[in-house]
Amino acid sequence: MFLPIMQIHSEDIPSYAIVCGDPKRAELISRKLEGAQELAFSREYRTFIGEINGVRLAVVSHGVGSAGAAICFEELIRAGVKTLIRVGTAGSYSEDTPAGSLIVSTAAVRTDGLTRQLVPEGFPAVGDSRVVEALYEAALEQGGVVRKGITVTLDVFFQGVLEFPHKQYKQAGAIAVEMEIAALYVIASLRGVRAGAILALDGYADADLAAVYDPNVDVVALAVEREIEAALRAVVKLSILDG
């Protein structure tokens, strides 16, 4: 089957996939694979395949925002992907998790527009427990600050006249904010596949702390390296469990 938006053939796509927003990050991840091959670069969707410790996987960029990312998740699932792992960045809600920390998302708050058009309001966006645990274990092996918990998926990056909802979600226990995990978890549930997500924190999302925001620093680049390593190890762990 040919997937027309990502311009890939389902026969080429393995059952494990790592997804990330940035096409450059997809290339960075592909450099860690044995026999890496670029299959397509269509719109924001850049697709590589390769192997890690004998396990075949795809590495694909999904761009910024839930609507575009959903196309990537849906086409990968149509191509036969059964396990999706998002390797992203996020803004922190707590000084306990500064830039450079890693977060594993157990579930996502659905403040996005996309999932409202897919499922009813109260439907949860939850990560697969085996994928989440494999990611958390692999992230702990990388060292540094690692937390798991609820993340917020927002459509907005630059604020308008309305307040960001960060304060209320932080008070309710959320630990970070990004822009695609709710879409990933809802679509995985709808289509009967499993998904998890790991995030490198690139600064503080809270308005009070925003003055110090700068994602282009070494500590973030190093955290991205650690989350990539953790995600690849998680794929290997899951493939062993899957037999």
Ligand X SMILES: O=c1cc[nH]c(=O)[nH]1
Q: Catalytic residue positions?
A: 202
75 binds ligand R1P (CB under 6 A): no
**121 exposed, middle or buried (CB, 10 Å; 0-12, 13-18, 19+)?**
exposed
Contact track, ligand X, 75-94, x by CB under 6 A: --------------xxx---
Residue 239: how many other CB atoms lie within 10 Å: 19
Q: How far is the CB of 6 from ligand R1P (least distance, A)?
A: 17
231 binds ligand X (CB under 6 A): no
Q: How far is the CB of 60 from ligand R1P (least distance, A)?
A: 11
The number of residues that bind ligand X (CB under 6 A) is: 10
Contact track, ligand R1P, 51-70, x by CB under 6 A: -------------x------
User: Which bin fits 198, alpha (ψ -120 to 50), beta or left (φ > 0)?
Assistant: beta
Compute the C-alpha angle 62/66/67, nearest 5°. Answer: 90
Q: Are 98 and 80 spatial neighbours (Cβ–Cβ below 8 Å)?
A: no
Q: Which of 128, 133, 178, 227 binds ligand X (CB under 6 A)?
A: 178
54 to each of 145, 222, 227, 239, how far by Cα in Å? 30, 26, 20, 10
Contacted entry of ligand X, ligand R1P, none for residue 118, CB cut-off 5 to 8 Å set by kind: none
101 binds ligand X (CB under 6 A): no
128 binds ligand X (CB under 6 A): no
